[in-house]
């Protein structure tokens, strides 16, 4: 378990601060993460990677010449926010455009996609690529839904080496696509990981058993088998991966492969070597030529006891890129000329991460009626933060049934930051719309992850609908909730029946619109809609998830409501209480 920490909520920020202090030769801190401390030739494509904390050396440890130009670092097991990614990418950009790369998780897809839109609006040409190498998380026919695990490294490295060669952005992206299409990973675990401040692991494995097909966020495996010997584990890993070859590889015999045997946190290096001796022999028996293998901790999950095997099937071009030199804090290969420090860029501190999105000295002009409504909005956000805090452990337990158990933590971070930012804006005389949009930015920024992106979208949609000029009536609030429902579905792609928060948001929005359409006052209409939301959340227990981290463990979640749906229902009821108090 994680034993050394101060405030668990500050763990990720403090770890990043210590990392940068220890590795000034390679990296310098910027708001949201780190970038290279060495100079990058003007016009080179900047490869910016990122993801949640808890996976070291991914992602910050892979920043340096020959690998990433920057890394956006989110909270524990939560994707960095769009603001963090935008900040890191802007600092890393040297005129050649930006390729954003990350593991294929819903929160990362949302936040990196939003960051790409912001960068494009700034005039920076940007592309995105999600690594999807974990064969246990979806079948070959749904390979685009697979998670990204230790296969991140060879795909990141191929793209970064291509960028170092001076290739343009589109060609660097094509290299990433080629490497991604030829990379497969599979893992096993013997125990789950324990997050900082937690008193129990996210999942447990029975004595003398192992979990098969695990993720790197504390998700349980897709099945269990008897605890193997080292040789038996090696055979399971190799045989599983050899059953699924890339489309243009008919037979492993005569093929070359980059091989990574990855430790997930607490399996010792000597154990990994015992396993690898058999991995190498089995691949050799299959006729596979191993190229520059890596055995060690490359993508971890705190203290998870587990291992994963990754094969990247090489052609001449991919082999050249895999063998190319690299010099980062945690990954070094070959030799590079002496590095030139980046003297043109002053260090940027990460102090801005210590607060939510700070309120500007001035706020847009607002009417008296809108400022009064902002007081109700602030009370509602206070109620949201309090109900989330009260139920955070429960939300984590629900989420851990088939996911990574961080929903309560993320919701607490986001709702607390949103209330703080809203209070700051309200204190400056902001109207209801501005209070909500400041809260939206803060929630998305501090929570990260899928819930951060979606709740940021909800609050921003409401803020846009309410504005700062008019007194928001019941119809306008209902209109904002309807727009929020549409925006969330458009952003995340989920629909009713997928076992997500959408299963509550859509019926809640419909019920609120119907009630206000009948002429009910806002508090009464909200009460009716909140009752609908509670019933809808309970109904998700009967659904099988079709999206998100719970999807590979669909059967395990049957009988348990979706954590995001449950938290939304709790919030709708809490907001009703605030509306009654400020009626």
User: Which residues belong to the active site?
Assistant: 217
Distance between CA atoms of 113 and 323, rounded to whole angstroms? 30
Backbone angles phi, psi at 259, to 5 degrees: -120, 130
CA distance 526 to 524: 5
- Residues in contact with 333: Cβ distance below 8 Å, sequence separation at least 6, in sequence order: 66, 292, 323, 324, 325, 326
The total of other beta-carbon atoms located within 10 Å of residue 61's CB is: 23
Residue 293 structure tokens: 């293998």
Task: Tell me the C-alpha to C-alpha distance, in Å, between residue 203 and each of 5, 218, 219, 220, 413.
Answer: 21, 7, 7, 6, 23
Q: Strand pairing of 326-327 and 183-191?
A: unpaired
Q: Which of 332, 103, 323 is nearest to 216 (CA)?
A: 103
7 burial via Cβ count (<10 Å: 0-12, 13-18, 19+):
exposed
- Tracing tokens 């003398």 back to the chain, one arrives at 208
User: Do 216 and 110 form a contact (C-beta atoms < 8 A)?
Assistant: no
SS3 of residue 419 by DSSP: helix
Query: Which positions ≥6 away from 21 have C-beta within 8 Å?
Result: none
How many angstroms separate the CA atoms of 450 and 229, rounded?
Answer: 38
3 state SS of 100 = strand
Q: What share of the chain is helix, strand, coil (3-state, %, to 5)?
A: 50, 15, 35
CB atoms within 10 A of CB 202: 25
If one counts every other C-beta atom within 10 angstroms of the C-beta of residue 509, the result is 23
Helix H, strand E, coil C: the string for 357-384 is CCCCCCCCCCCHHHHHHHHHHHHHHHHH
Beta strands in 91-170 (DSSP E): 98-103, 126-131
Closest CA to 152 of 134, 174, 172: 134
Q: Give helix 522-539 / helix 474-492 axis angle, nearest 10°.
A: 30
């Amino acid at each position: 378990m994680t034993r050394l920490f101060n405030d668990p909520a500050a763990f990720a920020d403090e770890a990043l601060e210590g990392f940068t202090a220890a590795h000034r030769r390679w990296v310098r801190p910027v708001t949201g993460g780190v970038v290279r401390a060495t100079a990058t030739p003007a016009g080179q494509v900047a490869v910016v990677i990122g993801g949640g904390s808890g996976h070291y050396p991914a992602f910050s440890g892979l920043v340096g010449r020959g690998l990433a130009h920057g890394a956006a670092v989110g909270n524990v097991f939560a994707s960095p926010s769009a603001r963090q990614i935008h900040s890191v990418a802007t600092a890393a950009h040297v005129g050649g455009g930006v390729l954003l790369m990350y593991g294929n998780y819903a929160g990362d897809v949302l936040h990196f996609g939003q960051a790409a839109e912001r960068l494009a609006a700034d005039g920076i040409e940007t592309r995105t690529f999600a690594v999807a190498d974990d064969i246990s998380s979806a079948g070959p026919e749904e390979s685009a839904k697979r998670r990204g695990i230790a296969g991140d490294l060879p795909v990141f490295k191929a793209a970064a080496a291509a960028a170092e060669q001076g290739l343009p952005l589109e060609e660097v992206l094509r290299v990433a696509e080629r490497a991604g299409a030829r990379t497969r990973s599979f893992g096993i675990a013997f125990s789950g990981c324990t997050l900082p401040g937690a008193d129990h692991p996210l999942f447990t494995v029975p004595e003398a058993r192992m979990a098969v097909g695990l993720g790197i966020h504390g998700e349980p495996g897709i099945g269990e088998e008897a605890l193997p010997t080292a040789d038996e584990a090696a055979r399971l890993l190799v045989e599983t991966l050899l059953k699924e070859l890339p489309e243009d590889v008919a037979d492993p015999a005569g093929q070359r492969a980059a091989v990574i045997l990855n430790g997930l946190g607490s399996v010792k290096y000597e154990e990994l070597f015992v396993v690898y001796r058999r991995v190498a022999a089995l691949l050799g028996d299959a006729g596979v030529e191993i190229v520059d293998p890596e055995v060690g901790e490359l993508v971890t999950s705190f203290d998870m006891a587990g291992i994963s095997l990754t094969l990247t099937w090489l052609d001449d071009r991919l082999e050249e890129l895999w063998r190319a030199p690299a010099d980062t804090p945690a990954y070094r290969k070959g030799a590079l000329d002496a590095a030139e420090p980046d003297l043109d860029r002053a260090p940027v501190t990460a102090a801005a991460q210590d607060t939510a999105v700070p309120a500007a000295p001035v706020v847009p002009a607002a009417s008296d009626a809108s400022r009064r409504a902002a007081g109700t909005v602030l009370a509602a956000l206070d109620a949201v933060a309090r109900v989330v805090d009260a139920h955070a452990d429960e939300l984590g337990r629900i989420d851990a049934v088939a996911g990574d158990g961080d929903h309560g933590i993320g919701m607490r971070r986001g709702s607390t930051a949103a209330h703080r930012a809203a209070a700051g804006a309200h204190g400056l005389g902001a109207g209801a719309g501005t209070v909500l949009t400041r809260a939206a930015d803060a929630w998305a920024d501090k929570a990260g992850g899928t819930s951060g992106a979606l709740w940021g979208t909800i609050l921003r949609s409401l803020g846009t609908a309410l504005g700062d000029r008019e007194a928001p009536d019941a119809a306008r609030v209902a209109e904002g909730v309807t727009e929020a429902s549409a925006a969330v579905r458009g952003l995340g792609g989920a629909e009713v029946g997928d076992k997500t928060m959408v299963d509550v948001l859509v019926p809640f929005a419909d019920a609120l619109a119907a009630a206000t359409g009948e002429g009910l006052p806002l508090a009464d209409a909200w009460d009716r809609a909140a009752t609908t939301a509670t019933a809808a959340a309970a109904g998700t227990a009967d659904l099988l998830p079709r999206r998100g981290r719970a999807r590979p463990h669909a059967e395990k979640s049957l009988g348990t409501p979706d954590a995001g749906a449950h938290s939304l229902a709790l919030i709708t009821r809490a907001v009703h209480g605030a509306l009654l108090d400020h009626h």
